[in-house]
C-alpha cells in the first residue's frame, strides 16, 4: 500500500468521504491505533496512509482521539504524549533514552538531579531508582531497558520479524550488562557508592571502622553486590567456574582482584583495605563482562552484510544506539581496549555520523560520564 495508484479510484473516494458509523470491534480499534502510530512516526507518509488516517478520524467519536474532523490530514493536531525523563546529570544509563528521543524527533523534558539533592527526591520514584520516564497523568515507569523497549516500539526502532526482534533484544541486553558493571565500577571508583555504603548505614554500623573475620555475609548483597555474591566461599557472584576454594587462587589473583595478604577474611583489618579489595573486584567484574561479551558481539555484527552496516542490516535500530551509548565512556577512557574489535569500531563511527544522531551528539549537554 505504498503507492496510492494501486488502489481503485472508487475505493479512495470511499475512504476519503464516507463515514463508517459506530465501530465496536476490538480488533479494529487495535488496527487503527497502529495506523495512527505510523502516521506520527518520522517516516514519510504515503498518500494512501493519509487517506486512511482521515477515514479513521472521521469514523471515530471526537472524544476518542481528541481530534477535530478536518478534511486535510496534514494539519491534524495529533496529540503527542508529554514525556519527562528523570536521571542524574550525566549520560550514564539514560543516554540511550535521550538518543532515541532525538532520533525519533520527539520532544521531551530532560530533568537532571545532582547527586547531592537525590536523597530529597528518592522516595518519589518507583523503586527509588533512576532513570524514570514520566508520561501524561504523572505515570512513571522505571528501568532503562523497559523505557527503551517502549520507545523502540513507539518510534519504529525495532525490526519487523519476531526473530529479528529477539536478536535485537539480546544484543541490547549484552551491551547493557557491560555497561551495568562499568557504571558500578565507575561510581564506586569516584566515591559515590563508597559514600552511600559507608555513611548511609547500608553495610552495617561496624563496617566503616573495620571488619572482623566472618562479617562478609549475605547482608552485604542488598546495597553493594549482586545476590549470592558473598556466601561462605564467595563463589556465585564473584568468581567464574573454577575460581572457588578457600585460597581463591588463580583467576582472581591473576586478574588483579586481590593482592597477596589481602584476603577477604581475617586478614582484612580496616575500611581502607576493604575499599581497595572492592575497587579491584569491581574492575575485575567489569573487565570480565567486557572480555566475555565483546568477541560474541563482533561475530554477531559480522553476520549481517559482513559487519559493514548495522547489527540488523541496512537500517539503524535501537541495538545500534545502545551499543554506542554503552561503549562511549569506555571508549573515551581507553580506546586500546577496542583494538580487537574493528567491525564494532566501524559501527561506532557510523552511529556517530548518522543523520539522526550526529546533530544530537554535537548539541547535547556534555558531562564527564
**Residue pLDDT tens, the chain, 369 long:** 445 445 555 555 555 555 444 444 566 667 777 777 777 776 666 777 777 877 777 665 544 444 344 444 444 445 667 899 999 999 999 999 999 999 999 999 999 999 999 999 999 999 998 999 999 888 899 999 999 999 999 999 999 999 999 999 999 999 999 999 999 998 887 766 544 444 444 443 333 333 333 333 333 333 334 433 433 333 333 444 334 333 333 444 344 444 433 334 434 445 566 667 888 898 999 999 999 999 999 999 999 999 999 999 999 999 999 999 999 999 999 999 999 999 999 999 999 999 999 999 999 988 888
Q: How do the domains of the chain map onto residue ranges?
A: 4-75, 188-240+248-287
Rounded-to-integer distance, Cα 110 and Cα 291, Å: 33
Cell digits for 223? 546495597
User: Of the listed 39, 83, 188, 286, which one is catalytic?
Assistant: 188
Cell digits for 146? 523497559
User: Of the listed 39, 55, 83, 93, which one is catalytic?
Assistant: 93
Instruction: Give the sign of the dihedral formed by CA 350, CA 351, CA 356, CA 360.
Output: negative
Give the β-pairing of 84-88 and 132-135.
antiparallel
Cell digits for 154? 513507539
Residue 37: count other Cβ atoms within 10 Å of its Cβ.
Answer: 13
Whether 188 is a known active-site residue: answer yes
User: Of the listed 86, 87, 158, 176, which one is catalytic?
Assistant: 87
What is the DSSP track for 256-322? TS--TT--SSTT--SHHHHHHHHHHHHHHHHHHHHHHHHHHHHHHHHTTGGGTSBTTBSS--HHHHH
Whether 87 is a known active-site residue: answer yes
Amino acid at each position: 500500500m505504498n503507492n496510492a495508484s494501486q488502489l481503485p479510484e472508487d475505493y479512495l473516494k470511499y475512504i476519503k468521504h464516507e463515514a463508517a458509523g459506530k465501530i465496536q470491534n476490538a480488533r479494529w480499534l487495535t488496527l487503527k491505533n497502529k495506523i495512527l502510530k505510523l502516521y506520527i512516526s518520522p517516516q514519510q507518509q504515503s498518500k494512501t496512509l493519509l487517506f486512511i488516517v482521515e477515514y479513521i478520524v472521521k469514523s471515530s467519536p471526537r472524544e476518542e482521539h481528541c481530534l477535530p474532523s478536518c478534511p486535510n490530514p496534514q494539519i491534524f493536531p495529533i496529540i503527542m504524549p508529554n514525556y519527562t525523563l528523570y536521571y542524574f546529570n550525566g549520560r550514564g544509563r539514560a543516554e540511550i533514552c535521550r538518543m532515541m528521543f532525538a532520533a525519533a524527533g520527539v520532544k521531551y523534558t530532560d530533568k537532571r538531579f545532582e547527586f547531592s539533592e537525590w536523597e530529597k527526591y528518592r522516595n518519589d520514584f518507583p523503586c527509588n531508582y533512576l532513570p524514570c520516564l514520566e508520561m501524561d497523568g504523572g505515570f512513571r515507569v522505571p528501568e532503562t531497558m523497559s523505557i527503551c523497549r517502549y520507545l523502540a516500539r513507539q518510534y519504529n526502532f525495532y525490526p519487523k520479524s519476531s526473530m529479528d526482534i529477539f536478536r535485537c533484544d539480546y544484543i541490547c541486553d549484552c551491551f547493557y550488562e557491560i555497561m551495568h558493571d562499568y557504571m558500578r565500577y565507575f561510581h564506586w571508583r569516584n566515591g559515590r557508592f563508597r559514600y552511600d555504603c559507608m555513611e548511609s548505614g547500608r553495610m552495617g554500623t561496624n563496617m566503616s571502622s573495620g571488619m572482623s573475620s566472618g562479617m562478609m555475609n549475605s547482608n552485604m548483597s542488598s546495597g553493594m553486590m549482586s545476590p549470592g555474591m558473598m556466601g561462605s566461599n564467595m563463589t556465585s557472584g564473584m568468581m567464574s567456574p573454577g575460581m572457588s576454594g578457600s585460597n581463591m587462587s588463580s583467576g582472581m589473583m591473576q586478574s588483579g582482584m586481590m593482592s597477596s595478604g589481602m584476603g577477604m577474611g581475617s586478614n582484612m583489618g580496616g575500611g581502607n583495605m576493604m575499599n581497595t579489595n572492592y575497587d579491584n573486584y569491581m574492575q575485575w567484574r567489569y573487565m570480565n563482562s567486557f572480555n566475555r561479551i565483546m568477541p560474541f558481539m563482533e561475530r554477531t555484527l559480522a553476520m549481517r552484510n559482513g559487519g559493514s552496516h548495522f547489527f540488523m542490516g541496512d537500517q539503524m535500530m535501537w541495538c545500534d544506539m545502545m551499543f554506542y551509548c554503552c561503549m562511549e565512556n569506555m571508549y573515551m577512557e581507553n580506546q586500546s581496549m577496542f583494538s580487537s574489535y574493528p567491525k564494532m569500531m566501524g559501527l561506532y563511527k557510523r552511529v556517530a555520523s548518522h543523520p539522526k544522531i550526529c546533530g544530537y551528539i554535537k548539541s547535547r549537554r556534555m558531562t564527564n560520564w
